[in-house]
Structures are given as structure tokens and as C-alpha cells.
Structure 1
Amino acid sequence: MEAVTVIIETPKGSGQKYDYDLRTGKMKLKKVMPLGLVFPFDFGFIPGTVGGDGDPLDVLVVSEVSAFAGCAVDCRIIGAFKVVQQEHNGKPVRNDRLIGVPEVSQRYADVSSLGDLSKTIVEQAIAFFTSYNQQGGKKFSVLEKLGAGKAFQLIEKSRKDLPMDRLVEIFLPLRDGNGEVFPKQLYDGIRVELTTKFGGLTEYSRNPAKGFWKPDEGTAEQDELLVFEVMCSETDTEFWSKLKLRLLKLFKQDSLIIRCSKIELLCCCVFGALGFFHQRQD
């Protein structure tokens, strides 16, 4: 199974709980825990996932070292605690805890499942989460201990449950600087790559968009464009940056536009049928 990137929020040994603040993009102090209660290992989340509580999936990172808040750690997932958490209002909520081991760990290099960990570590982790939730007036109940395979299935499902509210548009030229049409195979490869990664793709090829630009001489020219659109749940800046660099070389361009817009779904009735359209917020 592939490694997943975990963003550490609260370091090992910390008596304070930190959360990542989406609004500011910074770590925020959430609470100070009672004297003697500290995190047994680094605690964080997997970006691009959503759990039963509406937040990204939580991960306890078992390691011989302590990272820092905001540190990104590549981990192999070795298992999970399938959890029901009773909130203040008595409503039960699924809030599973995954267990990961850093790829660079030496002490836990041979650990690939919960069974490879000592019984003490597993019991202490459950005891910590139970005590932590009791302090917050919540009840923490482990329904089942999952192996690595089922734990990874939780991650895959959580990614599918994310709202697809990002529209990414890739503007590609149809002709080179000499007016020659680019080979169809170039677009076929990009089409397959994007469809495989995002599960679908929309393209505008019959009526290409017209882009106008003025070179230094002051004369206006027309550039035919092919537009690919994909929908996704989050903007993977690293992926799009690397793709843009490849496309610039592939099409021998000095510049190329990849634009991301936030989609707001609006409901409307059309001739008695329920329809949807999207409004982009650039």
C-alpha cells in the first residue's frame, strides 16, 4: 500500500492540543489539557479526507521521535481503531483513529500491522483517547481494531466522500508558433492522465476558445485553445505545478494557464424537473 502524508498538529509529549485553522492556514491552540495528560505520540490528520465528524481523518503517528506542529510526515498506515464518539448532546458520531508509522522510522521499520506493536502501546493509545474525550465530556468507544487493509479502505472511502467543489481548467494551444497543429496524441495522453486521476473530464474541442494577445510590435493575433476541465475536492498545488511545467515543455510555450475556481451548487426547477448549475467564484 502507498504511503500517505500526515500533517502533524500536536507533537508527542505535548500537554496542549493544536488544530490546523483552515481560515488562516496556521496551527491554532485549541485547549490546555489537565496536568499529567499528554499525547503519547504525534497526532495529526490526512489532508484530502473527511471523517464521520466532518473533519479530516485523524492519525496517531507511532515513532521514536517527536515532530513539530505543521510538519508533513509520510507514513504507512498499519491499522485503525473503529470508533463511535458520543458528543455532548448524546449524538453518536463515527470518529475513527488511524495508526501510522513514519517511513523513515528505524525503531519501527519492521512494523506493518497493529499486531506488530506491543500490546502496551495499543492499550495506552486507547486509554489516552478515552481519557482525552472524558475531559471534554464525550464518551469514546472502540468498536473494532482494523488491520492495515481495512484501515486504508477507510482512507479511500473518505476521499470519495469529499465534496467535488473545485473546477480546474487547463488551457492548451492547438497550434505552435508556426501555425502548425499539434499532434492529436499529445492531447490523448493528457486526457487519459486526467481522467484516471480525477475520474472524469470535460473538454471543449469543437468550438475552441479564442485568446488574443499583443506582442511587442503591437499587432493583435489570435490563439486557438483547447480547454480541459476536471472537478476535484481540493487543489493539489504540487500536482498542478508539476503538470504545468511538463505542458510548457511539451507544447514549447512560454506561458500556459491552469485556473481553479470554487463551485457553488445552486438548485433550480426547470419545467418541473430539478436541475443544478454551478457558479464559479474565481
Structure 2
Amino acid sequence: MNPVTALIADDEAAMRDQLRARLAQAWPGLDVVAIASNGIEALELAARHRPHIAFLDIRMPGMGGIEAARQLYDRCHIVFATAYDQYAVDAFEHGAIDYLLKPVTAERLATTCERLRRRLPQAPQNIGAQLARLGSLLQQGATPKRSCLRWIQAQVGASLRMVSTREILFFQSDEKYTRVQTATAELLIRKTLKELADELDPDEFWRIHRSTLVRVDAIAEVARDLRGRQMLRVRNYPHELEVSRNHTHLFQQM
């Protein structure tokens, strides 16, 4: 049986690399036969390689994903990668189009791969009308999410590791460096905590101390110790983090 093939089109190299790596984990038998940085390249490579699936970023220079999809939808199954908010994403919820919200998580990608496996025995559906509605919707009112830092670059030996902010439990300043703590690793970067606080989504990361930024949905509980200090515990990390007096308002009911 011939392998299932795919094309990835995204103008951000880090996003292309991350999606390809996660596809290798979620769907080991999938063969990524082409990588493009814009819609025009995607069309050229699709004509050459005839992939079964095209993963298309919506916003790319020259030609975006929607324009490319209008010429590809009857030749392969379409999956969009998008940074648009839920208002725009609602447009994908019906029909043959699937979507991945950036940054792509392993769990969401696994769902998409399962949907694609079910669709592959069928010919790609005619989604021209849906693409037209989607393009109109995005032009009229949907706006991209506020541009916030979504990736951290950390040097690990001679290699550069890309870490999604969704994987990070907290940041903590450590003299010349900032410590990046995930559930499985501790990394050091040179970006200061102030720079991080300015670039991260304030709804996702809270400053609980002058030296600590914590991911909100990683917080397991907050309790007071014998000295009356608020101490915070995050999931998948054994030690507590102190909440300074200047930031106790974040947990007003304590």
C-alpha cells in the first residue's frame, strides 16, 4: 500500500519544523513530501508531488492558505494552521475543512490525524463555497490573536531547542539567566523576565513575584504557610513558589 503523503506550507520555519516533528510522532506512516513557505510554492509543489493532505498556514506572504486551498481542495484534503481567534475558527467547524490553532499541541494534532485517516478513503469534498465564506468572514471582522510570544529558543549543548509556551510551567530569574521550567526539563535563556513579561500573553502568564512568571493553567493550588505567606504549587513540579505581597491581589479570596 502506498504511503499517505502530505505538504506543509507556513512562512515561519519554526512552525514548519514543529508541525513536521509532531506529525512524525502522531502519524509515523505519514510521508511529508514537500515543504513550502507561501501559497505559490505550495501550489507548485502540490502539482509536482500530488500529496493526499495539505497543511496550510492561513496568513503567508504573496499567497495565503485560503487562496491556495481554492486551487487545491479538489485534489487533496485541507487542514489549516491558524492564529485566528475563536470567532474565525467557528467557520471551520462544519464541512470538510479541519484546522489547527497555533501553536499546535500534540493532543489537537492527534485528533486531526484521526479525522484525516477516516476521510482518506473518500475523495476530497467540494468545499469551494465554504472557502469563499471563510475568506469573507476573515476580511470582514475576524482579527488575529494579539501577537504574543509563543516560542522560546533555548540553547541545549550545541543544539537549539524550540519550546512552546504551552509547555512551560514558570519562568524564574537566575542572576544573568532566566530559568525555564517545563514538566520534564529545566532550561536557561538570556531573555530577561521583564522582556518576557512584555512579550507573553498576560492572560496566560501571571507575575507572582519580581523574579517569577507562572503559567496560569499550570497552577494547582495556593495556600498560606505558617508565616502567612501565599505559596503556590504548580502541576508536575515538586516545590512551592512564593507569591510576593505585591502580587497577593491575584488570589484575593485567600
Instruction: Please give the TM-score of this superposition, normalised by the length of structure 1.
Output: 0.30
